[in-house]
């Protein structure tokens, strides 16, 4: 790629003055907006992400699973104890600790950690971890959502617990320590940025009661759901197990 000054037809002192002016203008723009584009992120919201670890690339925190991931899900599912679920006490969100706590100690709350991971073209408030804007491609249905931080707009992009906290509570988490429940609630492997609409329709359900509308989204969801269930040793409702068994052969 040719230098900007060369494209403009400038040389010598003229080129240096032009480049200095451009640098000043860029600095003023950043200061005026209070936002900084994160390095290493995909600045073009239409550019496809790169595939890694044998998985097909898919925007967001979840990737379309490859054959190895599907095979692992089948093994993990077979190892889950089947139980209709239940708890001696009603589910209470407070049992899982402070929402979006900074459990990894990086100075950023979990919500903004996930937004920075899952959105494209991310900008953050200068000197903070707060994501000010970005673009979400919902991993469940492919909907594109422009995210802008604000009282009336932030909720357009929400963070979904792939295995919901209430499901986990009924299938083993009630017996956990408070520290383990806090870790689960903020584990990035169980979290993904989704649209407000998709989070509302998914709710607390497992795959026996809800599946994403797209074929790829269904594979994305059930493979991650099983992985989290196995990682935490949760029991599985027979209806959820049957639903996953129907989906996995299509992936």
Taking only the tens place, the pLDDT of each residue in 166-216 is: 999 999 999 999 999 999 999 999 999 999 999 999 999 999 999 999 999
Strand partners for 103: none
pLDDT for res 39: 40
pLDDT tens per residue across span 139-149: 999 999 999 99
> 243: which residues sit within 8 A by CB, 6+ positions away?
206, 207, 208, 211, 222
Q: Residue 4 has what DSSP assignment?
A: H
**How many angstroms separate the CA atoms of 60 and 38, rounded?**
16
**How many angstroms separate the CA atoms of 69 and 56, rounded?**
11
Q: Residue 236 has what DSSP assignment?
A: B
pLDDT for res 61: 60
Tokens of 129: 């971890």
User: If you write DSSP's letter for every residue of 82-137 in order, what string do you get?
Assistant: B-----SS---GGGG-STT--TT-SSS-HHHHHHHHH-EEEEEETTS--EEEEEEE
């Amino acid at each position: 790629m040719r230098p900007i000054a060369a494209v403009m037809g400038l040389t010598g002192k003229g080129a240096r003055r032009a480049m200095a002016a451009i640098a000043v203008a860029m600095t003023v723009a950043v200061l005026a907006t209070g936002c900084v584009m994160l390095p290493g992120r995909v600045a073009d919201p239409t550019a496809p992400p790169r595939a890694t670890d044998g998985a097909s690339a898919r925007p967001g925190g979840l990737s379309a699973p490859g054959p190895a991931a599907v095979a692992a899900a089948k093994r993990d599912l077979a190892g889950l104890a089947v139980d209709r679920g239940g708890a001696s006490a009603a589910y209470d969100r407070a049992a899982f600790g402070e929402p979006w706590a900074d459990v990894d100690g990086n100075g950023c709350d979990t919500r903004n950690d996930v937004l920075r991971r899952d959105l494209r073209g991310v900008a953050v408030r200068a000197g903070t971890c707060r994501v000010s804007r970005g673009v979400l491609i919902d991993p469940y249905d492919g909907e594109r959502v422009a995210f802008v931080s604000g009282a009336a707009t932030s909720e357009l992009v929400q963070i979904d617990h792939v295995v919901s906290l209430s499901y986990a509570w009924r299938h083993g988490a009630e017996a956990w320590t408070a520290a383990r429940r806090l870790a689960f609630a903020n584990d990035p492997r169980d979290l993904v940025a989704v649209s407000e609409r998709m989070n509302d329709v998914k709710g607390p359900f497992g795959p026996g009661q809800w599946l994403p509308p797209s074929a790829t989204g269904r594979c994305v969801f059930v493979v991650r759901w099983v992985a989290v269930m196995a990682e935490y040793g949760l029991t599985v409702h027979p209806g959820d197990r049957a639903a996953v068994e129907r989906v996995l052969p299509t992936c």
